[in-house]
Structure 1
Amino acid sequence: MADQTSEIKVTKSDAEWREQLTPEQYHVTRKHGTERAFTGPYWDDKSPGIYTCVCCGAPLFDAETKYDSGTGWPSFYAPIDGDAVSEHDDRSLFARRTEVRCANCDAHLGHVFPDGPQPTGQRYCMNGNALNKVADDESSA
């Protein structure tokens, strides 16, 4: 798949993000929030397609790498491309975790944990409100 992210990061003012996103999307992606388990979109979706960033539209995960982790959040064992997401040290909530952000616009997506299935052993536990889904036939256009 061709790299669809730009070399230039997407940046917008806080007011622009608030205007573009729903309150829940804004809370999750711009304020590093977390939706409650089993409440966000896509946690139980099994249809094919590409998951994109709700903020900038960058492709992030292919449904082929999605699996049911039992956590109540969409979980993937790998991003669509090694450059699609960036990882950051997160020491909030009295724990050390690895935060995952969209590499194109720095939207908070969720966290990655080393307890996923093979072939990577990773669990990219994402907030459904940080994602949009594009059907396979739309992503190849």
Structure 2
Amino acid sequence: MTSATTLTSALEPQHRERLMHLAREASFEAGTRLFEEGRRADRFWIVRTGTVSLDLHVPGRRPAVIETLGHGELVGWSWHFPPHLWHLGAEAMSPLRAWEFDAETVRKMCAEDSEFGRVIAVWVGQVVAQRLHASRVRLLDLYAPYGSGVLT
């Protein structure tokens, strides 16, 4: 993920402080599934330590790992957009410590403060755009005929 989408670079201090006021500490053992594709997206995390892999269900195969996230990165964006269902799956690749946020509370705060809501929407939108690009590149690596992903 690019540095422009990490918490410290994406949000101004006053918005970051408002968001962090809602944070709860969470820890996960390596191998723990944080969420599954298609299930209800009711929370999200920001990585403090450890790594998380994002994966995509591929029928008849193991899930394809799309991206690995680390310190300061947002885990989960589906909570921000109706119908609030996960678009990917996520698993702790190492012991994970993260800040956890209740999605409904954050969405309510965004609705009550339009400037805060705009900042969060832009941040999450940047993350979505980056993840779509990473997904495309990874799926081309895995499944496309040799050379089909090269643009000239």
**TM-score interval for Structure 1 and Structure 2 normalised by the shorter chain:** under 0.3
* TM-score, normalised by the number of residues in structure 1: 0.28
Which one has more relative contact order, counting CA pairs under 8 Å at least 6 apart?
Answer: 2
- Name which one, 1 or 2, has greater alpha-carbon Rg: 2
